[in-house]
Structure 1
């Protein structure tokens, strides 16, 4: 039984947007449908395929056009998904005391200005090139509009969620790609379990259809080039970025019961690490250590492997230690959303548990069956570092033996 300092934490709301659509119903129906396939744009950002975001009716969650205009697409996506989660949890009247934890990257860049700057610097030679530093500063100072510069501040995502939806409890923004999302979820859960809050909104979002992100992750052969292939069909590997966002409403179980909330699943534990892969097996070993902290293997697994070669090899090594678990690699259908992927996969796990079912194979390498698992393990392996595991269970089952919140 949970103690006063290790209370059960449950998921009562999911706000989910991916290339497959928005909301719990759309994702359950699509992911369970026979013959479903990934939604991919292979031409708009060639040679790199991407999973694009669906069209969103922003007025539903961001009613003021002025608020919409002052946000970039990345911020609008986060704010939209956060609103979906609040509605799903029936928690609009609880926002004044709700804690907010956001995993965020950097804002979008002014690509035309970037192109002007790089072209000017590339053409400079001799004495002119020696003054490139001063020239760069001048071009940025005179070319960047102030609103764009401010939009790149990561904590403005939480600020916009607070402004639009009125979430005015404590606010924390985490940066650090995949690790940021796992730590946001881990700390949100720990605070509620330890009695330092009753309800929290936690999540992140990522827009994959961005030239600046594609160029950034292209370094080190990070992206898959050419016609789309599922994860297991990419040979030497590479990510296909995907637009996605997921926000979860977490509550102390007693708090949810007291207000008569519908409980989707129980978040048993989240454990994280940040192993820098310098030798084969180091990352898999780190994940095996995390496994003991979240209660051991589960009958079903949703894998968050991004598809980069080192991460793919390490996660495959780890997955082989899980026995006969039913494994589903969601990245083959949704792509990789960096700081959004981990909360998206936790949302998919909670969705399956709430519906009393599981998903058909998402990748040709997926194996095992679990018609109605009572517990699902979610893995997270960053493209560079960011190992994480989460254990999610049906709320009516015994909680696995996990470590105390960290």
Structure 2
């Protein structure tokens, strides 16, 4: 029989106790802190030209996924995510703890799996040259696609692989919906902990930006940044996002659970709010962000980490909102890591917890002057996510 936890009358305090980051800047807290403070950016302007991507830094998957068979049956985005999840569990000090892992909730934000490029290219070429028969698609489905491809494309297989490799076997949820899925992963995890339905959760996402099929997909609506890298705030005349490869996972748990096992908190996750503006008329994203800020409970001097994409018109509308916060430290992760879709919001949460735990805000990396230097310890950081197409969200991360 499933365990039932008593509902509490007061919201339970939620602590972030583990961070797992594997991105274009490296892996782990120390590597990221050093890269951020040295203003390092890792971009590839030639491998997918004219499109620009932020490639994953070299990692040794064996360190978190020891079985080669497990690695082989995963696609790149699943390996990245499973690896980052292991880093988060290590960071929280629960790796290998079967008692905790067996009841740890898992909430993953995920996109679709990767395509078989050879098959896709053959179909597109046949269509382009007028050689596609009426039954071509059925023929390709029957004869060309390997059966395991469909399994590898299942979005909830990232959670499945984390369960297999790391033994996280409590409840499992997978959300789809690009950037908004990352917001909801954090929102639902916090709601479950605050209500007493959950003691500890692993949340996060992974994204492989080095995919020609994704670049083709986003090219259909001219979302890709092309030809020359610019910081995310300097792209109004050449709008677009540079896809990034990244995995970002966090361990979030109730204060009582963390204290009972002697865990040291990195930061407190105070609140997460979400919205979905219709985006039919100009200014709706600005209005949505203003509404979310009023719901969040943040102080006016709270620092900001935003996943602004560089795509228009949403980035300009977010910039309009940020003008009301011009005297605080604003940092755009799109410049530093590229755009990682589902992963962008968990990545922002991880960086916020990292900055609070280190007692400083990492320096600006911006050519426009929107991001300013700020000394002193950040005690509140607001994480913002405004999707390139749909969905807005905010989270408040605080010092303890």
Bin for the TM-score computed over the shorter chain: over 0.9
Structure 2 unaligned spans of 5+: 1-7
What's the CA shift string for 1:22-54, capped at 9, x where partnerless? Answer: 001111111112xx3311111110000100001
For the Cα contact (< 8 Å) 1:19–1:39, is it kept in 2? yes
- Deviation (angstroms), 1:300: 0.8
Q: How big is each residue's C-alpha offset from its partner over 1:134-165, in whole Å with a ceiling of 9 and x where there is no partner?
A: 21111122111011111111011110110110
**Number of corresponding residues:** 386
- Per the TM alignment, residue 5 of structure 1 is displaced from its structure 2 partner at its CA by 3.7
Shift of 1:368: 4.8
Report whether the alignment pairs 1:53 with 2:59.
Answer: no
CA distance in 2, matches of 1:254, 1:217: 44
Provide the rounded CA distance (Å) in 2 between the counterparts of 1:298 and 1:159: 41
User: CA offsets per residue over residues 248-279 of structure 1, 9 Å max, x none?
Assistant: 00000111011100100000001011213111
- Give the direction of change, closer, same or farther, for the CA distance of 1:40–1:323 in structure 2 (3 Å limit): closer
2:265 pairs with 1:263: yes
Is the counterpart of residue 115 in structure 1 residue 117 in structure 2?
Answer: no
Residue 85 of structure 1 aligns to a residue whose secondary structure is helix
- 8 Å contact from structure 1 (residues 203, 343) kept in 2: yes
How far is the alpha carbon of 1:299 from its aligned partner?
2.6
Between 1:361-370 and 1:351-360, the stretch displaced more is 361-370
CA distance in 2, matches of 1:192, 1:172: 15
Superposition deviation, residue 182 in structure 1: 0.2
CA deviation vs aligned residue, 1:185-240 (integer Å, no higher than 9, x gap) = 10001100100010000000111111011111112221111021111222331111
Question: Distance between the aligned counterparts of 1:81 and 1:340, measured in 2?
Answer: 11
Q: Secondary structure at the match of 1:367?
A: coil
CA distance in 1, matches of 2:176, 2:145: 23
Question: 1:15-94 counterparts in 2 under 5 A?
Answer: 15-33=20-38, 36-92=39-95, 93=97, 94=100
CA distance in structure 1 between the partners assigned to 2:311 and 2:49 by the alignment: 19
Give, in angstroms, the shift of residue 4 of structure 1: 4.2
In 2, the alpha carbon distance for the partners of 1:229 and 1:105 equals: 26
Partner of 1:228: 229
Tell me whether 237-246 or 193-202 shows the greater mean CA deviation.
237-246
Divergent runs of 4+, >4 A: none
What residue is the counterpart of 2:190 in the other structure?
189
Tell me the alpha carbon deviations over residues 37-79 of structure 1, each in whole angstroms, 9 at most, x when there is no partner. 3111111100001000011111111111110111111110110
The 1-side partners of 2:110 and 2:306 are apart by 21
CA distance in 2, matches of 1:121, 1:214: 20
Matched ranges for 1:291-370 at <5 A? 291-296=293-298, 297-364=300-367, 365-370=370-375
The secondary structure found in structure 1 opposite 2:158 is helix
Q: 1:154 to 1:298 in 2, by over 3 A?
A: farther
C-alpha distance in structure 2 between counterparts of 1:279 and 1:304, whole Å: 22
Following the alignment from structure 1 to structure 2, what is the Cα–Cα distance between the partners of residues 28 and 276?
Answer: 37
Q: TM-score, structure 2 length as denominator?
A: 0.94
Is the CA contact (8 Å cut-off) linking 2:363 and 2:373 kept in structure 1?
Answer: no
Matched residue, 1:168: 169
Contact (CA 8 Å) 1:298, 1:376: kept in 2 or not?
no
1 CA distance for matches of 2:153 and 2:276? 25
Counterparts in 2 of 1:140-289, with a 5 A limit?
A: 140-236=141-237, 237-289=239-291
**Is residue 99 from structure 1 mapped to residue 101 from structure 2 by the alignment?**
no
SS of corresponding position for 2:236: coil
Provide the C-alpha distance between the structure 1 equivalents of 2:109 and 2:371, rounded to a whole number of angstroms: 28
What residue number does 1:402 align with?
none
Q: Distance in 1 between matches of 2:256 and 2:290?
A: 32
Structure 1 unaligned spans of 5+: 396-406
1:394 aligns with 2:394: no
Offset at residue 370 of structure 1 (A) = 4.2
CA shift in 2, pair 1:298/1:339, >3 Å = farther
Q: Distance in 1 between matches of 2:129 and 2:141?
A: 17
- Answer with 228-237 or 68-77: which moved more: 228-237
Query: Any conservation in 2 of the 1:298–1:377 contact (CA below 8 Å)?
Result: no
Question: Is the 1:5–1:195 contact (alpha carbons within 8 Å) kept by the matching residues of 2?
Answer: no
Distance 1:275 1:117, change over 3 A: same
Aligned to 2:3: none
TM-aligned CA deviation for residue 367 of structure 1: 2.2
Check conservation: 2:224, 2:241, Cα contact below 8 A. yes
Report the counterpart of residue 378 of structure 2 in structure 1.
373
Distance 1:370 1:300, change over 3 A: farther
